[in-house]
Amino acid sequence: MPETSNYKTKRRVIISGSTSGLGKEIALGLAKRGWTVAGFGQTKNKVKALAAELGEKHHIFQANVSCDDSIANAAKQIIEQFGPPHLLINNAAIMNSPAPLWEVSAKEFDEMSAVNINGVANMIRHFVPSMIRNGNGIIVNLSSGWGRSTSPNVAPYCATKWAIEGMSSALAQELPNGMACIALNPGIINTEMLRKCWAEGASAYQNPKEWAKMAIPLIERINAGDNGKQMTVT
């Protein structure tokens, strides 16, 4: 990955799950607003497509958030060459196939926990220490309405998002002054994950591009005084 001379002088954001859905629209929107973006995705074709769309000033990697070694290697490369992020957005998540909890296989439950919970912890483990050394930084953990309420047939997803709410609150208590961690409920958006649950009913809600117009200004306004807050895009 070539070093760029202006990366360290710009606002830097790291986004997991950046190659589709909300993560992609956050990446594109922040890039347009002057941020330098580094993002992660698992699918090679999607990684290449977003990298081409963003251009050479930004950096999109193929990495698996559920694999600690994968994130460790990517984080080391990013931090050494470009410096720590000013903003860390933990967005990567997956949804279970709707079913009563007792019908969800152990394999599916474990895979969801690995991405939705362990993946966030892996990102925090390998990026936040550099942010602490730098003396500033904002961590935004994407939660859900199902991280503050429950519904039938999505118990595994609810469990992971309630975990993110708790993780975010505890991390906020651990951070030094000048930093913040918040849990962000994005609201209801017509994404692939929502369509998995609600099928055609998802079409009644805004798409990720429309959502990003509201979400990005909110994310940019988050500061150290917001540490520990639960926020919602409305």
Positions marked catalytic? 157
Q: 100 with 150: CB under 8 angstroms?
A: no
β-pairing, 87-90 with 59-62?
A: unpaired
Q: What are the beta bridge partners of residue 38?
A: 14, 59
Neighbours of 8 (CB within 10 A): 13
The CA distances from residue 159 to 144, 151, 222, in Å, are 11, 11, 26
- 3-state secondary structure at position 22: helix
**Cα torsion at 53, 58, 63, 68 (round to 10°)?**
-150
Residue 11 has which token pair? 């606002």
Q: Are 149 and 165 in contact (CB under 8 A)?
A: no
Looking at the chain, list the stretches that DSSP marks H as alpha helix, in order from N- to C-terminal side: 21-32, 44-54, 68-82, 106-113, 119-134, 155-174, 192-198, 208-221
Count of residues for the chain?
A: 234
